[in-house]
Amino acid sequence: MATATKGTITLQGSAQMISEFLDFGINSILFQRNIYPENVFMPKKHYGLTVYMSEDEELRKYLDTVLAQARSWIEKGQLLQLVLVVLHADTEETLERWAFDIEKGEKFEEGTSGKKVELDHKQMQEGMKAVVKQIVSTITFLPLIEAPVMFDLLFYTTPGIEVENWDPTKPHMIKGASDSVKIRSWTSKIHTINTAVTYKAES
């Protein structure tokens, strides 16, 4: 859970909540888009919402590693956006791009100066829950994907960030016509998270 007391949140707490939210969101997309077999996911309750979380050991290790790095970048104000890309497994054609933008919240300056920021935790958690629910409902009306698929995670940071064993990757932009859906946002007051999906339009 976040490093926070009732009614307040710290910069580190905000980064932790974003990391948890990204974990929920990524797992929901991987489950709903059948990127991993259904039987490796188990339902878990978070904030009154059932989220299907992967128990695949290799995937769990990968997500724990990259989300820990994301949390560190968020604390330092270095992570701008995380994008989950759904790719055709055979051709590597980009079918969907799920973008999570991490922006400065109204209390960003207070949080980054080390102060505790007043926060209604229930309201924040309700906001997170609403976004995860909307991600799941949005997938139901996106174009059906019948081809085998895989995924990639892209991290957009401030200039000059280098991490050992992390290789630059291509942006996996969608070729041809595409549509997008903006999903509601939530805030920790220190950060605001905006989510949207861009997908290949049906021909």
Domain covering 8-200 assigned CATH 3.40.50.1820 in the classification: no
For the chain, 203 residues long, give each residue's pLDDT as a single digit of tens: 444 446 999 999 999 999 999 999 999 999 999 999 999 999 999 878 899 999 999 999 999 999 999 999 999 999 999 999 999 999 999 999 999 999 999 999 999 999 999 999 999 999 999 999 999 999 988 999 999 999 999 999 998 887 766 666 788 999 999 999 999 999 999 999 999 999 999 87
For residues 193 and 182, give the distance between their C-alpha atoms in angstroms, rounded to a whole number: 12
Q: What is the pTM of this model?
A: 0.92
For residues 179-192, one letter each, b for 16 or more C-beta atoms within 10 angstroms of the residue's C-beta and e for the rest, the string is eeeebeebbbbbbb
- Ranges of each domain in the chain: 8-200
